A and B are shown apart, each in its own frame.
Chain A
Amino acid sequence: MKRTGVFICHCGINIAGTVDVKKAAKELAKHKGVVHSEEYVYMCSDPGQNLIIDAIKEKKLDNVVIACCSPTLHETTFRNAAKSAGINTFQCEIANIREQCSWVHKDMNKATDKAIKITKSAVERVRRNESLEPISVPVTRRALVIGGGIAGIQSALDLANSGFEVVLVERSPSIGGHMIQLSETFPTLDCSQCILTPKMVEVSKHPKIKLMTYSEVQEVSGYVGNFKVKILKKPTYVDPDKCTLCDECSKVCPVLVSNEFDLGLTGRRAIYIPFPQAIPATYTLDIKGCPGLLPIACGKCADVCEPEAIDYDMKPEIVEEEVGAIIVTTGYDLYDKENMAEYGYGKYADVLDGLQFERLCSASGPTMGKILRPSDHKEPKEVVFIQCVGSRDPELHCAYCSKICCMYTAKHAMLYKHHVHDGQAYIFYIDIRSGGKGYEEFVQRAVEEDGVLYLRGKVSKIFEDKGKIKVWGVDTLSGKDIEIDADMVVLATAMRPSKGAEELAKKLKIAMDKDGFLSEAHPKLRPVESVTSGMFLAGAAQAPKDIPEAVAQASGAAAKAIAILSQDRLYHAPTVAKVNLNLCTGCGMCVEVCPYEALSLKDGKVEVNEVLCEGCGTCSATCLRAAIQVKNLTPLQVHEMISISLGG
């Protein structure tokens, strides 16, 4: 018979105040198989742990039960103590007699009785535990980063500079994300492209980074340390190695479509380069606009392409990659303008969103950095900026705060004044949220140096009137109605998770919050991890955030990924499902309910992939013949625990 030791902790008076620990120790000593039973004031202290270690050695104990606080607190402490005395960590079980007993009861007799039952049931359990060692698996020491905005770029560079190979996948033809569209960035007003393009070039030149633009993740399987990813590489119909960026093709292309880089403020050809500094530096033929390739309906671009870079026969390709960790940085989109019809957005040419205004301010934008109205190319003399458009509106739009709009609106108003000295900027706001280094000072500067007029209140109506855009609103501070004849209106629309993020999250099996942003594993303590181990999040895919935050989170996610990739092997809890082949009939019911696809049928029997199995036990409750059981919490163990709990 196995020799069991029982150690009952007083936890000062936390346990001993309600549970008669002496009586409990005496009762346990009578339980069959228990050859040692003692109590001590603080089992978790060094002398307490030594009591356990000495008893294991002296009395040749096979296993031990520590009756103390919740296993979430000291299970590891005591298992390590057991290990140091030479027994397997799984030969130590915790009986929770504090949180689930002494702290919730007053009657000493009853509490003692209950504590005895809980402890005995742990004894019955531990006697039937198998000794197990953690399962270990090798690690593929490469990472996948999904999304090539600033967060993805930062993560990829941090990983690559630490010596790990990275596959960076971006669905559009160039990396750079929304940051590359911006003109200047708050609160320093440095030029966005100037600070981003060096990083983009570094990505393209880095020997450790495999850049896959115009590509999308199609399928992900596997587990932490060993993911298999299928990536769809869409055809660009242009060989980047041959393309010399001469621009002859787009000069002859007859098709004009709206230019997404300028958010529709300009047009582009079907064959195009998204912007001059695009990485990779090459043209892309967007077949959505092209008159046709099969059969070739136009063919002008190929005719003029001297280096013969254009290849109409290019086909979509599926590329398979193996990686050990995945970082998701899919970024954001602005709230759909269809939702903001009340502000005339989409109806009046001179009502713009924040990103469009960035393009107007940008030196490389459609107006070469001159702020001109899209409708008639005149300089606007009165501009109204409206904050919280679609944000903080739980009834009609998004309940959350988009976080960056207060700051970029202040910046917009400031930039406007720097371009149009005699103009006037008005900002309608609900609150000003300028937490961040140098942010509050920045807002003050907008007011004091650039005379921006802040109006606290909401806009009630926007409509066109004699070439002006009339803005009606209220200033809630003075209680006065406001009417402004504006030349241009700029809406700080809400940030939304980028389109397609939901589909991707499903493929990766990572959770989303109610707004569609990706969920972190713990809002405070694990902000860059997803609930799926080996998958990390960064940037606006997780929640609205500004550039410095996105960059910090991206570096954090990279560090977390490196913690996995720098390991030789990964370890996994060995309390996984086990099949009794004699009992298994191969009915496959367990295979179907497994949340982790850890079970499969092989030769008419179920097989467990121990690395995928998390040990939840859903399979064992489903099996009609108890043929599949989770190690160390088997039906037999549970039945014994039930019987003890009911008094033997």
Chain B
Amino acid sequence: MAEEFEPKIVAFLCKWCSSAGSDLAGVSRMEYPPNVVPIQVMCSGSVSPLYVLSAFNKGADGVLVSGCHPGDCHYIKGNFYARRRIALVKRLLDFIGLEPQRFQMSWVSAAEGTKYTQIIKDFVQELKPLGPQTKLRRDL
């Protein structure tokens, strides 16, 4: 029997909230699938659309951008920019036919280890039936 498909996820986590929230998940010994590799960025507002495209390009099956809750950004308003930018990127990806489930944005505070855990679990579940992402992948 073929091995079950394991989606590869890249998660851009802002340093002040989401990365801290994911640290808390660890400190609280929660468990989630190891499909996700985190990349800590300073702020969700620093995630350029190119990062997202680059991740899909290099074979990501799913991309997550996670920041502080709106209004709580460590840099005052970075996540408001992120929210608008991500919405645009989402539309672009929709337009070129990528399944919308593959790209997500979330708000996870430093106190929300449980929420982060749940988000990753759900994300992996949603990606599994989709199979590998091939639309944007530049096969080596």
Chain A residues at the B interface, C-beta cutoff of 8 Å: 70-72, 96, 98-101, 103-107, 110-111, 113-114, 117-118, 121, 593, 595-596, 614-618, 620-622, 626, 630, 633, 635, 638-639, 641-643, 645-647
Q: A104-B117, A647-B8 are in contact. Are A622 and B81 (CB under 8 A)?
A: yes
Q: A99-B22, A621-B47 are in contact. Are A642 and B38 (CB under 8 A)?
A: no
Which one of A104, A621, A633, A647 lies within 8 Å of B31 (CB-CB)? A104
Chain B 19-41 per-residue mask, 1 if CB under 8 angstroms from chain A, else 0: 11011111101111110011111
- Whether A616 pairs with B43 at a CB distance below 8 angstroms is yes
Chain B 29-69 per-residue mask, 1 if CB under 8 angstroms from chain A, else 0: 11111100111111101111111001100111000000000
Using Cβ atoms and an 8 Å threshold, which residues of chain B touch A114?
Answer: 34, 37
In the assembled complex, the CB of B67 is this many whole angstroms from the nearest CB of chain A, namely: 11
Using Cβ atoms and an 8 Å threshold, which residues of chain A touch B39?
Answer: 121, 638, 641-642, 645
On chain B, the number of residues with a Cβ less than 8 Å from chain A's Cβ atoms is 44
Which one of B26, B41, B55, B76 lies within 8 Å of A103 (CB-CB)? B26
Q: A621-B46, A638-B51 are in contact. Are A111 and B34 (CB under 8 A)?
A: yes
- B10 touches A (CB below 8 Å): yes
- Whether B23 pairs with A617 at a CB distance below 8 angstroms is no
In the assembled complex, the CB of A280 is this many whole angstroms from the nearest CB of chain B, namely: 39
Which one of B22, B48, B76, B117 lies within 8 Å of A635 (CB-CB)? B48
- Whether B23 pairs with A100 at a CB distance below 8 angstroms is yes
Using Cβ atoms and an 8 Å threshold, which residues of chain A touch B46?
Answer: 616-618, 620-621, 630, 633
- B85 touches A (CB below 8 Å): yes
- Whether B42 pairs with A616 at a CB distance below 8 angstroms is yes
- Whether A104 pairs with B43 at a CB distance below 8 angstroms is no
Complex-state Cα separation, A595 to B42, whole angstroms: 14
- Whether A72 pairs with B23 at a CB distance below 8 angstroms is yes
- Whether B45 pairs with A618 at a CB distance below 8 angstroms is yes
Using Cβ atoms and an 8 Å threshold, which residues of chain A touch B43?
Answer: 616-618
Using Cβ atoms and an 8 Å threshold, which residues of chain B touch A106?
Answer: 31
- Binding site of A, secondary structure by majority: helix, strand, loop or mixed? helix
Q: Can you report 27 A-B residue pairs in the complex whose CB atoms are below 8 A from each other?
A: A70-B23, A71-B40, A96-B40, A103-B26, A105-B32, A105-B33, A121-B37, A593-B45, A596-B75, A616-B46, A616-B78, A617-B42, A620-B48, A621-B45, A621-B46, A621-B49, A622-B81, A626-B50, A630-B46, A633-B46, A638-B39, A638-B41, A638-B54, A639-B54, A642-B54, A642-B58, A645-B37
- Whether B34 pairs with A105 at a CB distance below 8 angstroms is yes
- Whether A99 pairs with B51 at a CB distance below 8 angstroms is no
Which one of B34, B40, B50, B82 lies within 8 Å of A107 (CB-CB)? B34
Complex-state Cα separation, A98 to B60, whole angstroms: 23
- Whether A621 pairs with B26 at a CB distance below 8 angstroms is no
Using Cβ atoms and an 8 Å threshold, which residues of chain B touch A121?
Answer: 37, 39
Using Cβ atoms and an 8 Å threshold, which residues of chain A touch B23?
Answer: 70, 72, 96, 99-100
Using Cβ atoms and an 8 Å threshold, which residues of chain A touch B45?
Answer: 593, 616-618, 621
Known contacts A595-B75, A616-B74; can you find 13 more A-B pairs with CB under 8 A? A72-B20, A99-B22, A101-B34, A104-B31, A121-B37, A616-B42, A616-B75, A617-B78, A621-B46, A633-B46, A638-B54, A646-B58, A646-B59
The 10 A-B pairs at the shortest CB distance, nearest first, are namely: A617-B46, A99-B26, A616-B75, A103-B26, A645-B37, A618-B45, A99-B23, A621-B48, A595-B76, A110-B34
- B77 touches A (CB below 8 Å): yes
Complex-state Cα separation, A44 to B85, whole angstroms: 40
Complex-state Cα separation, A617 to B37, whole angstroms: 21
Which of B20, B46, B51 counts the most chain A CB atoms within 10 A?
B46
Q: A117-B37, A617-B41, A621-B85 are in contact. Are A104 and B30 (CB under 8 A)?
A: yes
In the assembled complex, the CB of A634 is this many whole angstroms from the nearest CB of chain B, namely: 11
Using Cβ atoms and an 8 Å threshold, which residues of chain A touch B78?
Answer: 595, 616-618
Which one of A100, A618, A621, A647 lies within 8 Å of B59 (CB-CB)? A647
Q: A616-B78, A620-B46 are in contact. Are A100 and B26 (CB under 8 A)?
A: yes
Closest chain B residue to A617 by CB distance?
B46
In the assembled complex, the CB of A61 is this many whole angstroms from the nearest CB of chain B, namely: 23
Closest chain B residue to A595 by CB distance?
B76
In the assembled complex, the CB of A593 is this many whole angstroms from the nearest CB of chain B, namely: 6
Which one of B38, B49, B75 lies within 8 Å of A100 (CB-CB)? B38
Closest chain A residue to B79 by CB distance?
A618
Q: A616-B43, A617-B41 are in contact. Are A646 and B34 (CB under 8 A)?
A: no
- Whether B50 pairs with A635 at a CB distance below 8 angstroms is yes
In the assembled complex, the CB of A245 is this many whole angstroms from the nearest CB of chain B, namely: 48
- Whether A615 pairs with B42 at a CB distance below 8 angstroms is yes
Using Cβ atoms and an 8 Å threshold, which residues of chain A touch B60?
Answer: 642, 646
Using Cβ atoms and an 8 Å threshold, which residues of chain A touch B22?
Answer: 99-100
Using Cβ atoms and an 8 Å threshold, which residues of chain B touch A633?
Answer: 41-42, 46
Closest chain A residue to B14 by CB distance?
A616
Complex-state Cα separation, A127 to B33, whole angstroms: 29
Complex-state Cα separation, A103 to B28, whole angstroms: 8
Which of B19, B45, B51 counts the most chain A CB atoms within 10 A?
B45
Using Cβ atoms and an 8 Å threshold, which residues of chain A touch B20?
Answer: 72
In the assembled complex, the CB of A19 is this many whole angstroms from the nearest CB of chain B, namely: 11
Chain B 119-133 per-residue mask, 1 if CB under 8 angstroms from chain A, else 0: 000000000000000
In the assembled complex, the CB of A47 is this many whole angstroms from the nearest CB of chain B, namely: 25
Closest chain A residue to B32 by CB distance?
A104
